[in-house]
Amino acid sequence: MSEEDALRRAREELAQLEAQRLQLSKDVMEGRPEALEEDEQLRQRIVQLGHWLFKSEKEGGGRPSMSEGPRAPQPPPVPPDNEGGAA
């Protein structure tokens, strides 16, 4: 995967995570424990991707960085999902 593809996929994932947080907002405001837990997991992933995107764009601006060598940097791995529990 090229660095441009990795950046695009990370941005798409960020948009998806933000949309999921928005859907949870009412339950979070009501203090539902499962919603609070899921919201925190989403927030942590958003922060993780945000830091990676910032670093990648700062270093290469969407172009391969001289310090990275031949392999483009990859976004942080997605943590295992606990989907199926909250609806």
Sign of the dihedral through C-alpha 25, 27, 30, 33: negative
Domain spans of the chain, in order of start: 3-61
**The pLDDT of residue 65:** 46
Confidence of residue 84 (pLDDT cuts 50, 70, 90): very low
Q: What is the pLDDT of residue 37?
A: 97
Question: pTM of the entire structure?
Answer: 0.68
- For residues 46 and 53, give the distance between their C-alpha atoms in angstroms, rounded to a whole number: 10
Q: What is the pLDDT of residues 18-59, one digit of tens each?
A: 999 999 999 999 999 999 999 999 999 999 999 999 998 888
Share of the chain above pLDDT 70, in %: 74
